[in-house]
């Protein structure tokens, strides 16, 4: 308990799945949480749960691909809690689940890039100045093992997630002397609403599930809390000398 005491954290995608679990855990560990999501109902339910359990949190509706909404969200965080120390870029979409570039619609490509890559970039762009004002901070960006190997998502998805790694490394180098750290988590298959299609009776979904399980040495998918604990470590001072790196949380896929 208390690993984030005194810190203010913005978590995107906090209305469900990995982001919601991060919000709950961060609040439990003492952070003042600014949950951000387009899913207002889900987000408010998470914030209400945090408050009912004695935590401190607010909900902010946020389209992460909008500069204006990012500026407003960060200003709300600072106005409410006085500072900003942590940004967790979790929100994202899967996009078209195809493995072949020729099947990828260009408009869908642009959508995946706008949300999965540009959205995190905008968060970093507007959060970093506030972190510097308070002596530094930690950026945790959720990418995917699809950024590191093929066959783990669509072409656009993999490209966007790989872009997050390049972005994060550059931020680590550019702002290290400002004590702003930047790291990436690369999840494998995690049980979330986004991956729920893998549990359906659709033949393609069943084949995909077996494919991913076959690639995972531990033989099962992860849970949102597995990502939340990794994010907690990278957000806390326990990782104060770690920046510019990627942490796979994948049940051993990258070792296979």
Catalytic residues: 157
Residue pair 41/20 in contact by the 8 Å Cβ criterion? no
Residue pair 130/124 in contact by the 8 Å Cβ criterion? no
SS3 for the chain, per residue? CCCCCCCEEEEECCCCHHHHHHHHHHHHCCCEEEEEECCHHHHHHHHHHHHHCCCEEEEEECCCCCHHHHHHHHHHHHHHHCCCCEEEECCCCCCCCCCCHHHCCHHHHHHHHHHHHHHHHHHHHHHHHHHHHCCCEEEEEECCHHHCCCCCCCHHHHHHHHHHHHHHHHHHHHHHHHCEEEEEEEECCECCHHHHHHHCCCHHHHHHHHHHHHHCCCCCCECHHHHHHHHHHHHCHHHCCCCCCEEEECCCHHHC
């Amino acid at each position: 308990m208390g690993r984030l005491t005194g810190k203010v954290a913005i978590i995107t995608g906090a209305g469900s799945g990995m982001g919601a679990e991060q919000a709950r855990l961060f609040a439990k560990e003492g952070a003042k949480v600014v949950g951000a999501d387009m899913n207002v109902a889900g987000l408010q339910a998470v914030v209400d749960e945090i408050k009912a359990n004695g935590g401190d949190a607010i909900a902010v509706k946020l389209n992460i691909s909008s500069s204006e909404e990012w500026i407003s969200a960060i200003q709300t965080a600072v106005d409410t809690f006085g500072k900003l120390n942590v940004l967790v870029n979790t929100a994202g979409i899967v996009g078209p689940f195809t493995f072949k570039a020729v099947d990828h619609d260009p408009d869908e490509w642009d959508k995946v890039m706008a949300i999965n890559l540009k959205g995190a970039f905008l968060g970093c762009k507007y959060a970093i100045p506030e972190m510097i004002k308070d002596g530094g901070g930690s950026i945790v960006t959720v990418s995917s093992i699809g950024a590191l190997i093929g066959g783990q998502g669509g072409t656009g998805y993999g490209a966007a997630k790989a872009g997050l790694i390049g972005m994060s490394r550059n931020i680590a180098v550019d702002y290290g002397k400002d004590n702003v750290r930047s790291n990436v988590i690369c999840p494998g298959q995690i049980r979330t609403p986004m991956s729920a299609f893998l549990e359906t009776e659709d033949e393609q979904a069943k084949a995909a599930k077996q494919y991913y399980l076959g690639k995972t040495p531990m033989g099962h998918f992860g849970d949102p809390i597995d990502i939340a604990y990794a994010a907690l470590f990278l957000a806390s001072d326990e990782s104060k000398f770690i920046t510019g790196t990627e942490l796979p949380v994948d049940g051993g896929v990258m070792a296979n």
